[in-house]
A and B are shown apart, each in its own frame.
Chain A
Amino acid sequence: NAGVTQTPKFRILKIGQSMTLQCAQDMNHNYMYWYRQDPGMGLKLIYYSVGAGITDKGEVPNGYNVSRSTTEDFPLRLELAAPSQTSVYFCASSLPGTGGRSPLHFGNGTRLTVT
């Protein structure tokens, strides 16, 4: 099993450009998440999905969009990139678990710079 795979690993965008961060998991996990990590700020939840066709906003959704057409894939779309979106983005997945107690499995991250 590859686990959670994120592409690309690095990307530089100009202000106003758009891009899609790809995330795929092969563990048949229902739940998938997008986090961003800024220095000293921990991980902030952008969007999450509890299954194919179902998505919802997290703490910091502005400027992003997601879709979940299959169990495996959960792409994150950035429209009109801004310098404030410079960050490291992590995709994660988990099983529902009993009472939501399953651990998160993270991808290797995408380091995005907007200039």
Chain B
Amino acid sequence: GQQVMQIPQYQHVQEGEDFTTYCNSSTTLSNIQWYKQRPGGHPVFLIQLVKSGEVKKQKRLTFQFGEAKKNSSLHITATQTTDVGTYFCAGRSNDYKLSFGAGTTVTVRA
């Protein structure tokens, strides 16, 4: 079945630094979604990418969908303490089931 791999599992970042988390699928995806889960909270939808090579930005967050639609990345610039949490990618290859990556848990050193 479809598998979505996400790396790294943990990211410890100095406040103000940049980092990237990567998502790779074993199959071609129709779309990919990114979610953020704050500690003790529930996943919250951030963004969806649909087109090959698509790039979307949300303030300091940049999301990219690979040309082959099998990988994606999330890049955060100038990390802040509010960026703490776990970031999940979720790929969809059929109409109703998302396959979630294991997540990247981000901690920030002030």
Contacts and interface: CB of A to CB of B under 8 A. Distances in A.
Interface string B28-48: 001101010000011111001
Q: Which of B1, B33, B43, B101 neighbours the largest number of chain A CB atoms within 10 Å of its CB?
A: B43
A34 interface: no
A104 B43 contact: yes
Given A59-B1, A103-B33, A43 B45 contact: no
A2 to B, nearest CB: 14
A47 to B, nearest CB: 11
B98 interface: yes
A44 B102 CA distance: 9
Per DSSP, chain A at the interface is loop
Contacts of A40: 9, 102-103
Contacts, number: 60
A55 B103 CA distance: 27
Contacts of B69: none
Nearest to A111: B40
Chain B's interface size range is 20 to 34
B98 A107 contact: no
Contacts of B33: 103-104
Nearest to A100: B95
A42 B88 contact: yes
B51 to A, nearest CB: 12
Nearest to A102: B48
A45 interface: yes
Interface of A: 31, 35, 40-45, 48, 50, 58-59, 90, 96, 99-101, 103-109
The 8 closest A-B pairs by CB, nearest first: A103-B45, A100-B95, A42-B102, A43-B100, A106-B42, A42-B100, A106-B43, A101-B31
Given A45-B99, A99-B30, 11 more contacts: A31-B96, A40-B102, A42-B6, A42-B103, A43-B90, A50-B96, A90-B43, A100-B92, A100-B94, A103-B48, A106-B44
